[in-house]
Structure 1
């Protein structure tokens, strides 16, 4: 069996805004009735995070719960913990209609860090990123240029971006180009 490697293999583009591969990240997509008490409990038990509201993320370090849609969550956890977490989900939701799937190797996580990260992101996504509209704790599924992506702000000067592994190189290069374009002075 081969060793797992991240899509970007540790790639980093330093600068006023640094773009970097976040490395391997465990991700489970969970579809089901998000109002169900057993589903909510297993998610919070696995991550230690509170259950997120619509359009939000509850995250700390490398664990989190991301609201993806009215019937879908993305569970973030250490890469090595995915099998254990899936077993917990299966045990907790037995007899219910749900789908839980390991998507860790199908996705990439990119960090965008620095003084004008909002401007870097605003150049490539149609989301309103004004501080009054988007900040830490908010989560969006949208796109970067023409590729699907999801993102949030762990801190005021950092974005975390998830995209499909197949477009990770493109997303990384797009973010680097946006950062090299410099500050616009909007935010």
Structure 2
């Protein structure tokens, strides 16, 4: 029996805090509240179980253990209380999947128009999986893909189908 291209696992224990603000003005306060350096554009910063993801020029996503999301949301809201900012726990709005294995990028290549394999180790990409908006970043030798929970079952099915044994793009 052929081996799957990647192992797909739904990540149910991730917390996610959306941060919208003027990142130049609020960067020091965000870094202090999260304990992470500010990421460059299209990059992530990880320390242990926390990752701070650059999502757009005025948006970051803090990914951390779900049990820590409420406290982190409050710390960020307090740190940004004098700024025009939005801090929102979006943990229950998102579905997240780990895509792991030597050919994980190949499984994603079937679904995404972006060259995920070329993404740097600290890179993040907003793109689509089939026609579903998603964010993808590297984690270890694999990837994490997040999308809206309302289409989480669909995303999971897409990923499992793309990783099915015998579906290699280049069987060589």
What TM-score comes out, normalization by structure 1 length?
A: 0.83
1:65 aligns with 2:49: no
Q: Which has the higher contact order (CA 8 A, sep 6+)?
A: 2
**Structure 2 residue aligned with 1:29:** 18
Cα displacement (A) at 1:16:
4.4
8 Å contact kept, 1:42–1:88 = no
In 2, Cα distance between equivalents of 1:32 and 1:47: 14
In 1, Cα distance between equivalents of 2:171 and 2:132: 24
1:163 aligns with 2:119: no
Q: Residue deviations 1:158-182, cap 9 Å, x none?
A: 1100111111111111011111153
* Number of matched pairs: 169
Deviates more, 1:111-120 or 1:75-84: 75-84
Query: What is the CA RMSD across the aligned residues, in angstroms?
Result: 2.0
Q: Residue deviations 1:47-72, cap 9 Å, x none?
A: 43221000011124431110111100
**Where does structure 2 lack aligned partners over 5 or more consecutive residues?**
none
8 Å contact kept, 2:122–2:138 = yes
Cα displacement (A) at 1:92:
1.4
Matches within 5 A, 1:91-130: 91-130=78-117
> Kindly tell me: are residues 105 and 85 of structure 1, through their superposed partners in 2, closer, same or farther at Cα, counting changes over 3 Å?
same
What TM-score comes out, normalization by structure 2 length?
A: 0.90
